[in-house]
A and B are shown apart, each in its own frame.
Chain A
Amino acid sequence: AAGVIQSPRHLIKEKRETATLKCYPIPRHDTVYWYQQGPGQDPQFLISFYEKMQSDKGSIPDRFSAQQFSDYHSELNMSSLELGDSALYFCASSNRDGTRGRAGEQYFGPGTRLTVT
C-alpha cells in the first residue's frame, strides 16, 4: 500500500537560510498534517489542511508557512531558520471521521531531519 512520502529525508541549512519540505499524502486522503518533533519530545502539531484549505493551526512560528496544492501534495516553507528549528518534521495524512469531521487515525511519513548550523 502507498505510504506518505516526504522529501528530502535530510536537510542541512545555515542560520537565516530558508528551507522547503515536501509531503505527498496517501492517495484519496483528504487531510494533511505537519508536525515538528525535537529530540526526546512528542510530535508538536504545526498546521493542517483539509481538501487543500488550511484547517487548523498549532504552534507554527510566523516564519513558517505551508500550503497544499491541487495535486494534494503539501509544502512547509521555513524562513530565517534558527538553531532551535533543528528537528524531525513529519507529515501525516488521514481521512476525517466523515460524520463529525474529527481527526481519524493518522499515517505518518518517514520525516525530514532538518539540521540548522
Chain B
Amino acid sequence: SQKIEQNSEALNIQEGKTATLTCNYTNYSPAYLQWYRQDPGRGPVFLLLIRENEKEKRKERLKVTFDTTLKQSLFHITASQPADSATYLCALEGSGYSTLTFGKGTMLLVSP
C-alpha cells in the first residue's frame, strides 16, 4: 500500500542554520508533491508544490527537491528563525485521483 514517511523525531536547530526535512514514499508514482506547515491547533498552510518533472523549486528561504528515482523529497529552510518552528507535512496524491495523503509530519524547533 502507499506509504509516506517523515522523520517522527523533532528536528532541533539553531537560528540562522539551514533546516532539512525529509519525505520518503513507497508504492507511489505521484505527479507532484506538496509541503505544508502546521502550527498547533491550526489548519495546515500550503508552502510549495513541486511536479515530477521539476528537480528543485524555491520560494524565498524555502527550497524543495524531488527525486522520483529515490522516491524522496527534501525540504530546506535557509537562515532559519524561531518563527519557523512548526510541524511540516509533506503530501502526495491519495488513492483518489484528486485527493491528498499526508505524512505524519516532522516538528521543527528553531532556538535563538
Contact = CB atoms under 8 A, between A and B. Distances in A.
A109 to B, nearest CB: 6
A96 B98 CA distance: 8
B100 to A, nearest CB: 5
A94 to B, nearest CB: 9
B42 A100 contact: no
Interface of A: 4, 31, 33, 41-43, 45, 48, 50, 55-58, 88, 90, 92, 96, 100-111, 113
A107 B45 CA distance: 7
A42 B103 contact: yes
Interface residues of B, number: 24
A33 B53 CA distance: 27
A43 B102 contact: yes
The 7 closest A-B pairs by CB, nearest first: A108-B43, A56-B96, A42-B102, A105-B46, A103-B98, A42-B104, A56-B99
B35 to A, nearest CB: 10
B108 interface: no
B44 A108 contact: yes
A41 B101 CA distance: 12
Contacts of A58: 94-96, 99
